[in-house]
């Protein structure tokens, strides 16, 4: 098979990639094309990156996704509002509860319903717990991508404590489907608050462990310092959000600056930023945020108000006509839902703004002129979840 045009080259790679276990290399006059994935361990799912190389240097890199596209935006149009949460649970599957919140808040805005304070408190607590569960895995995974295997086992081990707490309230480790329009499905079980404090202590010592084990490590620093630097203005123009943005020195957090419906204003906490914008900074910011999340939850646990957990909502939910956009600071970054309602049982249109989609759109820019091994560490530090890209 003679490969001359670029299209033929891509077709050849695609035919080889059907096997999906090998990385294919094609040698042409212009250099080498390296096909990374779709099943590479660094991709948390099935993301494929076609990198054109000049020696060890990447000339151009192009991510190919869609392997997991499930068409949620279309499916929401044939689901009632309460049914939609089942779907959107599966967008970012490591922090599922956080996915439900902005959609429910958008529907509540349109219905002009407000959840009672107790529900808002518990929502915020579960929201932050899912952040810990999500970012915890990142902390371990990032280390494993640069060659340290121990942290990832620590991460999986300690994440269980948080997942257990989420499971005790919601009944689901990964897909709680617990948030309702107007409140929550259920109240906290007995003894939960004390147990959660225990889990938080565990997470704090996990953060300390990670700091000692990973951050101070010479190899880790060599692999991440000054690698994959994203300046703040570039990050903004690509729509990066969450820790990726704050690691580029932009002091912006939806929880503090554009909070809707959650009770972050009741807590004394801090937004962490880092001026460097490199892979190291992204790891560092996420580590601090995990600690801060423990801090937020601890304060909230002590001040949960009493009262009902559901506001009065009709049994059959019809959302009045209107449009609303609500975004929250999810573990991966800004996640928002633009809900257009025509007063029916089902949404007319839902646009899902997922964090990883925008976070990953910077990859062609950032992977230019880096070395092959750095592709992995940069991708890992950007932290994406395939379900969150493909939706």
Partner 1 sequence: MADIPEHLLKRAQAAREKAETEQPVDEQPSSEPAETDTAVAVVEEEVIDVDEKAEKTLNKIIEGLGEKVLSSHIAPNRGLWIRVSSENWRQTAQFLHDELDCTFFDWLSVIDWMPSPYGRELDTEQDIEPEQDSTEPEQMEWGYTGGDTRFQLICRVYSISNGIGIMVKADLDNQSPRALSLIPIYPGANWHEREAREMFGVTFDEHPDLRNIYLPGDFEGHPLRKDYPLLSRRMKPWPGIVDVEAMPGEDK
Binding residues for partner 1 (CB under 8 A): 65-66, 69, 71, 73-75, 77-78, 80, 83, 109, 233-234, 236-240, 250, 252, 257-258, 321-325, 327, 334, 336, 338, 340, 342, 344-346, 349, 351, 353, 357-358, 361-362, 365, 390
Structure tokens at 215: 């951050």
Q: What's the closest the beta carbon of residue 78 comes to partner 1, in angstroms?
A: 6
Q: What's the closest the beta carbon of residue 280 comes to partner 1, in angstroms?
A: 24
* 53: β partners: 32, 58
Q: 333-343 burial by CB neighbour count: b if 16+ within 10 A, else e?
A: bbbbbbbbbee
**Nearer to partner 1 by C-beta: 74 or 225?**
74
Contact 42, 57 (CB under 8 A): no
d(CA 364, CA 142): 20
**Nearer to partner 1 by C-beta: 124 or 358?**
358
Q: What's the closest the beta carbon of residue 343 comes to partner 1, in angstroms?
A: 10
Element at 375 (helix H, strand E): helix 372-382
**Nearer to partner 1 by C-beta: 287 or 366?**
366
* 185: β partners: none
What is the side-by-side order of every strand in the sheet holding 322-330?
A: 322-330, 333-341, 349-353
Q: What's the closest the beta carbon of residue 18 comes to partner 1, in angstroms?
A: 13
Residues ≥6 apart with Cβ < 8 Å to 334: 241, 242, 254, 327, 328, 353, 355, 358
**Nearer to partner 1 by C-beta: 189 or 231?**
231
**Nearer to partner 1 by C-beta: 136 or 382?**
382
Residue the block writes with tokens 């309602």? 341
**Nearer to partner 1 by C-beta: 196 or 358?**
358
Residue the block writes with tokens 């790679």? 13
Q: What's the closest the beta carbon of residue 252 comes to partner 1, in angstroms?
A: 5
Q: What's the closest the beta carbon of residue 351 comes to partner 1, in angstroms?
A: 4
Element at 111 (helix H, strand E): helix 96-111
């Amino acid at each position: 098979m003679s490969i001359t045009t670029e299209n033929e080259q891509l077709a050849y790679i695609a035919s080889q990639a059907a096997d999906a276990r090998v990385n294919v290399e094609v040698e042409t006059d212009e250099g080498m094309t390296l096909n990374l994935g779709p099943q590479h361990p660094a991709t948390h799912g099935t993301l494929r990156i076609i990198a054109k190389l000049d020696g060890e240097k990447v000339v151009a890199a192009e991510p190919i996704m869609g392997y997991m596209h499930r068409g949620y935006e279309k499916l929401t149009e044939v689901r009632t509002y309460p049914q939609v949460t089942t779907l959107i649970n599966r967008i970012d599957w490591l922090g599922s509860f956080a996915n439900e919140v902005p959609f429910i808040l958008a529907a509540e805005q349109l219905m002009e319903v407000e959840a009672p304070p107790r529900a808002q408190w518990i929502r915020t607590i579960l929201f932050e717990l899912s952040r810990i569960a999500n970012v915890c895995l990142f902390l371990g995974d990032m280390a494993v991508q640069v060659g340290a295997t121990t942290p990832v086992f620590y991460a999986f081990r300690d994440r269980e404590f948080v997942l257990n707490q989420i499971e005790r309230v919601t009944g689901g480790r990964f897909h709680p489907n617990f948030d309702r329009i107007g409140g929550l499905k259920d109240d906290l079980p007995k003894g939960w608050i004390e147990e959660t404090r225990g889990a938080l202590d565990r997470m704090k010592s996990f953060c300390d462990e990670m700091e000692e084990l990973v951050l101070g490590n010479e190899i880790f620093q060599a692999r991440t310092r000054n690698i994959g630097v994203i300046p703040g203005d570039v990050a903004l123009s690509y729509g990066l959000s969450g820790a990726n943005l704050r690691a580029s020195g932009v002091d912006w957090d939806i929880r503090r600056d554009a909070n809707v419906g959650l009770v972050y204003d009741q807590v004394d906490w801090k937004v962490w930023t880092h001026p460097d914008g490199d892979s190291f900074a992204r790891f560092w910011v996420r580590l601090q945020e995990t600690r801060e999340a423990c801090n937020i939850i601890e304060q909230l646990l002590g001040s949960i108000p009493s009262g009902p957990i559901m506001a009065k909502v009709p049994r059959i939910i019809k959302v009045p006509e209107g449009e609303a956009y609500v975004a929250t600071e999810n573990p991966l970054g800004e996640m928002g839902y633009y809900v257009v309602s025509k007063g029916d049982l089902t949404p007319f249109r839902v646009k899902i703004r997922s964090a990883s989609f925008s976070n990953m759109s910077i990859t062609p820019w950032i992977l230019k002129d880096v070395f092959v091994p750095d592709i992995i560490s940069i991708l890992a530090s950007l932290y994406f979840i395939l379900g969150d890209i493909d939706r």
